[in-house]
């Protein structure tokens, strides 16, 4: 997994709550057996006018000023619905490194940490402030620092965010979860022995 320490990038605002994983990647793209190449399907139904990938000019990601955005700003309950990891694969493959929202669906949040980008939780007031700042300072850049758990801009913003230590360590180091758990294989074996699992 790609490690994440600090990222400076352009913010694209998506002023919605409850963005579900069916919107992030619609069902017709879940039939693939690969893990790569999902970026072009991200937000398919909102992003394109038809199946030939003709862009919807109204959609945020298609607007010229947001073409190079790497930080996605949204509202609450981001990633609700289906557990499909195709959604995080699409977010990472599109090139997003950070999502900022006031809350996330549990499964999506968990899946994000396997894919090298950082979902940051901020309060509803902080998110509202970021939407206002984006409108005021466009093109708006943020710096997200996982080492120090800080979000800053060039206009005096300085926020701290919470994240649990284990997830932070994995992301900072780009660790592979399975390998990490297998370091404790003796504990797994001991559990299995105690429970008669062979």
Partner 1 sequence: MNSDSAAHAPKTMYDKIWDSHLVYQAPGDDSVILYIDQLLCHEVTSPQAFEGLRLAGRKPRHPDRVMAVQDHDVPTTDRDKPIADPIARKQVETLRANCKEFGIRLYDLNDVEQGVIHVVAPEQGHVKPGSTLTCGDSHTATHGAFGLIAMGTGTSEVEHVLATQTLRQKKMKTMRITINGQLGDGVTAKDLILYVINKLTTAGGAGYAVEFAGEAIRSLTMEGRMTVCNMAIEMGARVGMIAPDETTFEYLKGRPQMLQGDEFDQAVEEWKKLASDQDAVFDKEIVFDAADIQPRVTWGTNPAQSVNVTDVVPEPESFDNIEERKMAKAALEYMDLKAGTPITEIKLDWVFLGSCTNGRIEDFRAAAKVLKGYKVCDGVRAIAVPGSGIVKRQAESEGLDKIFTDAGFEWREPGCSMCLAMNPDRLQPGERCAGTSNRNFEGRMGKGGRTHLVSPAMAAAAAVMGHFVDVRNWKYN
Q: Contact residues for partner 1 (CB under 8 A)? A: 16-18, 20, 22-23, 26-28, 30-35, 45, 75-77, 80-85, 88, 103-107, 110-111, 114-115, 164-167, 177-182, 184-185, 187-188, 191-192, 195, 197
Smallest separation (angstroms) from partner 1 to the CB of 103: 6
Q: Which is nearer to partner 1, 72 or 87 (CB)?
A: 87
Smallest separation (angstroms) from partner 1 to the CB of 189: 10
Q: Which is nearer to partner 1, 24 or 98 (CB)?
A: 24
Smallest separation (angstroms) from partner 1 to the CB of 4: 16
Q: What is the DSSP letter of 139?
A: S
Q: Which is nearer to partner 1, 111 or 141 (CB)?
A: 111
Alpha-carbon distance 80 to 76, whole Å?
10
For 1, 14, 114, 192, the CA distances from 102, given in Å and listed in that order, are 25, 13, 20, 40
Confirm if 101 and 119 have CB atoms less than 8 A apart: yes
**Beta-bridge mates of residue 10:** 141
Q: Which is nearer to partner 1, 92 or 153 (CB)?
A: 92
Alpha-carbon distance 43 to 41, whole Å?
6
**Beta-bridge mates of residue 104:** 78
Residue at token pair 């970026």: 39
Smallest separation (angstroms) from partner 1 to the CB of 143: 27
């Amino acid at each position: 997994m790609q490690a994440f320490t600090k990222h400076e990038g352009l913010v694209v605002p998506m002023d919605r709550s409850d963005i579900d994983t069916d919107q992030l990647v619609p069902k017709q793209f879940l039939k693939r057996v690969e893990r790569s190449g999902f970026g072009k399907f991200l937000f398919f139904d909102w992003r394109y006018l038809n199946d030939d990938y003709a862009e919807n000019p109204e959609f945020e990601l298609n607007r010229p000023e947001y073409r190079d955005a790497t930080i996605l700003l949204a509202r609450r309950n981001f990633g609700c619905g289906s557990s499909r990891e195709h959604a995080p694969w699409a977010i990472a493959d599109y090139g997003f490194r950070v999502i900022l929202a006031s809350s996330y669906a549990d499964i999506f949040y968990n899946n994000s940490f396997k894919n090298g980008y950082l979902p940051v939780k901020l309060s509803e007031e902080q998110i509202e402030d970021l939407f206002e700042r984006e409108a005021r300072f466009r093109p708006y850049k943020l710096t997200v620092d996982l080492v120090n758990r800080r979000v800053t801009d060039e206009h005096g913003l300085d926020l701290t965010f919470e994240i649990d230590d284990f997830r932070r360590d994995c992301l900072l180091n780009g660790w592979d979860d399975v390998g990490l758990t297998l370091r404790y294989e003796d504990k797994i074996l001991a559990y299995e022995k105690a429970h008669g699992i062979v």
